[in-house]
A and B are shown apart, each in its own frame.
Chain A
């Protein structure tokens, strides 16, 4: 096995809460000192002594049901369970006495007498704690036969696509139940019945699929037997080696062990040493990796002259030369600025860095942008303007110190599931929750949570809401004056204070705009303002608005005013959507910024890059994605290189995007599948998945995690190698033999990455930037002593209503979002069994709106906006506000973005996905766009089939 730091080890029970007191004891003649509250089992493990155990695991509270961990303690009667016995000073513990050994053998004998003895053919063979324990306790005979009552005939539940539940093998240790409650926070499992009849039940004695289960796999991972087992392991057998890497789905950035047989992934197991996830994961990261070997993967480069022609499979050299010739020819004819590139928030930092370098150095312009344009560009703008750095301020773990948690425009249980589990743990411990969102998100349904407040505001009124909250803080004396005086710029603060104190910003004055009762707003402001630690988490419901940037500044104002910045438990935390959105922004993907957010007009920064790269860099910003589209349609922009993004599906106003892509003379798409954008391409360069390359991703807490290659790239090249080839073909030399060298260059040129290297990453596991001489191991909590701009800067945040308004023709507001099982445009997750949960996008509407239109659940609904028209199936759902409808965009044929408009954030052009005025009505057939889409899709798939070479023979030896 390849281990990069301390191997996973199970210490039996969790570490106790931090305390100053240590307790000293002796275990089997070994003296050991541990923090007060440690269990005897854990103390022994820390001393290197492994007491047998079955029901205990160090990610679960001890339960004491199996008794296998019995020990003898001097001066105590009987054989206490070491997992539930806390250490005491001077304790003398014996873990291996004869009576204890006998007791353990008896216990194991009872377990085994009701357990199938098919070890050799059992899928857990080689990875079964029951088997291990039988070995450890020296079980040699089982006196009770299988004649008596037993559970051997119990039925299997195979409803979940990824794991089975074979209850004949269950020892009722309840680890799964506790994992579901404590680790995941879902409470889907219970132990049903008592004594001999007790068994594990999902939901109300339902199948796993019909229960509340969200398929996170925590129960599967903790099950000591083969009862809960990954189907992939049942099929393939036990893995023989493993490599630690990082999930390529969401911005949580979970660490995983890719457990392998040769170059086949057998299973993904969340890595306990992962600082973002501590051994937990969600259904996407753990189970949905099958897309990597899906038959739809592009395996050969392809080219064509025009998009109505069949693809022609060619060699890498031919494809790269074809692309380079086209791009240069376009520049000759239409000028240097007529081409550009789009970097990917799903690719690695190194790959993203190279694409923007290609654009700036080889294309000779700054026409580079990334899909963060359409999600978190306002975060960059807003946080830089107020706090001085375009990134979240905390670690995920910081939430465990928060007392009041404000969640704005985010749905963590679906979009950031592992962080949501941690957040729920904190809510169960007693933290107060405030949700500002038009929808009643699932977080509000957290079992055993304490107080929660929901402010269901009208879409598009975020800034009015944040101003009202700040108004209350200022007018009710809830400001942290000491913090403001020492940490914030006085003049800006005074201007802001005068502005926000005006009566027009009071909750009462803004009630008619937000639709939220003033009392509730005041209550929320008081809770946050008075909290010892108040933390704000926000998502795309904040950024994807015409005032996205203003709202981000409003959030920063509120945190500054209450002193909730610069320590554990507080902060301003953007929840980033895709795995490497943070990284793609850090790496200089935006047209106005070089890596590390250094403006292109900054001569000193630019000079450093020019010296290193050996070229002149344009000192004017380049085009953003929407401007590229406009310029393509008006004819001045002709060539585009897109790496790992699907702008045709993810960007708003699809018809406009399609017109732009159709107008390009050369579109080069590098992707793992024929995505929607690729259907308009002239050059197709097969991409590689995260399993096929080396690199790094940066998660939402600025944590740089390593991505490690576990299999060869299907088409022969890692994505960065393709960019290198293209640069060389364009006459700009790039020469790297490993992404580590690219990281060294990044470190050389980017002050916030100065101290980052692969060696250090391997050593530390991960690093939160900034990492430099002052902070050689990175900076978990930002702004502790000062801001990068010195003092924090309050910003004026006037509420300007969006021009996207309802009227008689479009009386409803459409807002869009995501669901747990699917990821972004769905290109990956749609090619896995995650389809089982969400095989189509639906339109959710409130029962009241449904009734007035005569709509029933499951009806086809036509949805029209100023931009377009599409048809989706209706789901009537009272978690919506009346007047607001909701959909997702995981399936291209849904055309969710056919209806979203050009309206965008004033500062960054981040599209206003969250507000579109629409009308809905019952219809009987797909929209004309959908019909056209279908025909086009069919045509392009056929053109691809024609070009596909038969898969190359795999040669032996």
Chain B
């Protein structure tokens, strides 16, 4: 496992540890964690943690596992502008 993923796992677990007390149960906590990740993590970070949950996930605590499945990744579909400037 690379250092980057290791950090993401540690971050996710830490977020869950801090948000769990603010929620009534694991499911509610997972919602908070998912929201946090949705708001603050970059697309590539989300992709890595989602991938990790799907392939292994053993180092994540229960709340994070529940949370990660709720994290959707937004989309920047219209890249025309950038592509245009890249052509320059």
Give the B-binding residues of A (Cβ under 8 A). Answer: 328, 331-332, 336-337, 362, 364, 366-367, 499, 546-547, 550, 591-592, 599, 601, 614-616, 618-624, 626-627, 630-631, 633-634, 636, 730-732, 795-796, 798, 800, 902, 906-909
Contacts and interface: CB of A to CB of B under 8 A. Distances in A.
Interface of B: 2-4, 7, 11, 14-15, 17-18, 20-22, 36, 38-46, 73-76, 78-82, 84-86, 88
Contacts of B4: 627, 630-631, 633-634
A627 B45 contact: yes
5 contacts: A331-B86, A618-B43, A618-B76, A619-B76, A636-B44
Contacts of B74: 601, 619-620
B42 A620 contact: yes
A251 B74 CA distance: 36
A798 B21 contact: yes
Contacts of A798: 18, 20-22
A907 B33 CA distance: 10
Contacts of B79: 336, 364, 616
A731 B21 contact: no
B85 A337 contact: no
Given A616-B79, A620-B74, A366 B85 contact: no
Contacts of B38: 601
Q: Which of B15, B45, B78, B79 has the most CB of A within 10 A?
A: B45
A616 B79 CA distance: 7
B39 to A, nearest CB: 6
Contacts of B41: 621
B18 A634 contact: no
Contacts of B2: 634
B42 A731 contact: no
Given A599-B39, A616-B79, A622-B42, A906 B15 contact: yes
B20 to A, nearest CB: 8
A interface majority secondary structure: loop
B15 to A, nearest CB: 5
A939 to B, nearest CB: 27
A790 to B, nearest CB: 19
Nearest to A549: B18
A627 B42 contact: yes
B42 A800 contact: no
A364 B82 contact: yes
A336 B42 contact: no
The 9 closest A-B pairs by CB, nearest first: A798-B21, A364-B82, A796-B22, A731-B85, A731-B88, A630-B4, A906-B14, A634-B4, A620-B43
A906 B46 CA distance: 16
A367 B88 CA distance: 22
A796 B2 CA distance: 34
Contact of A634 (B3, B42, B81, B88): B3
Contacts of A908: 40
Given A615-B81, A634-B3, A796-B21, A337 B88 contact: no
B33 to A, nearest CB: 11
Contacts of B86: 328, 331-332, 731
Given A364-B82, A601-B74, A616-B79, A591 B42 contact: yes
A732 B88 CA distance: 10
A616 B18 contact: no
A599 to B, nearest CB: 7
A272 B28 CA distance: 55
A127 to B, nearest CB: 55
Given A362-B85, A367-B42, A633-B4, A795 B22 contact: yes
Given A616-B79, A620-B73, A623-B44, 11 more contacts: A331-B86, A337-B44, A362-B85, A364-B81, A364-B85, A547-B18, A620-B43, A623-B42, A631-B4, A906-B17, A909-B11
